[in-house]
Amino acid sequence: MKIALITGGNGQLGKSYIKTLTKNSYFVYSIDIKHSKTKVDNVKKIILDITDEKEIGKFFKNIKHLDLLINNAGIGVFTPTEKRSIDEFKKVLNVNLVGTFIMSQFALKKMVKQKKGKIINIGSVYGIKSSDPRIYGNSGRNNSEVYSASKAGVIMLTKYLASHYAKYNIQINSISPGGILNNQDKRFQINYSYKTPAGRMASTYDMQSVLEMLISKKSNYINGSNIVVDGGFTSW
């Protein structure tokens, strides 16, 4: 059975990706700082902090083989930039970017020895364009500068690693989702949908087809790409 490792497995998108992975005959290690107690076939839930290099290293020593890593864990903050503390800034960077680097570094050590593997990093449309504060209104959830900076870093980290590890038959790509419907403020949903040519926010289902393609052999010649799945949000 193929082996996959996903971070942020307890989140909305992570759970959706796990369903896709198990449907495609993967055994999945799901890493997060907390998990539901619900048991899922062919999924092992592991509580770990991806910014803890020593603990991540111990975990990887117990994995003999790894076909796929999905760096999905991510956090954000919503206070205005002028009120941002350095601790907040560092925390977002540590989880979103440093955590992605730590996981990728350990995974690459195994994949280089195997001479094959795939890494998929989860970016964001806000890693390639700034958010528009007008669509957030009074929701209190305006996207932050540090989230955008961290996701831009993830996208460029993807391109760097892809170009340097292609010779080992390792494909590394990123997926940058647009806004995914998740009980947001109604006004925000209307505003966001208005700015999206597709006329709606995404569902987790919209993200699954790209993942299915990237984990298959059909993607073996795709490397260093950032695939935007946003209903056209970044097109204008």
| Domains of the chain, residue spans | 2-231
Alpha-carbon distance 49 to 159, whole Å?
Answer: 25
117 vs 136, residue with greater confidence: 117
pLDDT of residue 2: 97
**DSSP line for the chain:** -EEEEEESTTSHHHHHHHHHHHHTTEEEEEEESS--S---TTEEEEE--TT-HHHHHHHHHT-S--SEEEE-------S-GGG--HHHHHHHHIIIIIHHHHHHHHHHHHHHHHT-EEEEEE--GGGTS---GGGTTTSS-PPPHHHHHHHHHHHHHHHHHHHHHGGGTEEEEEEEE--B-SS--HHHHHHHHHTSTTSS-B-HHHHHHHHHHHTSGGGTT--S-EEEESTTGGG-
pLDDT in tens, 31-74: 999 998 889 999 999 999 999 999 999 999 999 999 999 999 99
Residue 140: which pLDDT band, with cuts at 50, 70 and 90? low
pLDDT band at 137 (very low <50, low <70, confident <90, very high): confident
Model pLDDT for residues 203-223, shown as the tens digit of each residue: 999 999 999 999 999 999 999
Q: Answer yes or no: is pLDDT of 152 > 80.
A: yes
For the cut 80, the answer to whether the pLDDT of residue 138 exceeds it is: no
The average pLDDT across 141-169 equals 95
pLDDT bracket for residue 79 (50, 70, 90): confident
Average pLDDT over residues 175-180: 97
The rounded distance, in Å, linking the Cα atoms of 138 and 9 is 30
Cα Rg, the chain, nearest whole Å: 17
* Catalytic choice (17, 147, 165, 192): 147
Question: Domain 2-231: which CATH class?
Answer: alpha beta
**pTM of the predicted protein model:** 0.96
- Phi/psi region, residue 128 (left: phi>0; alpha: psi -120 to 50; beta: rest), is alpha
Give the span between the Cα atoms of 103 and 6, in whole angstroms. Answer: 10
Known active-site residue 221: no
DSSP lists the bridge partners of residue 177 as 229
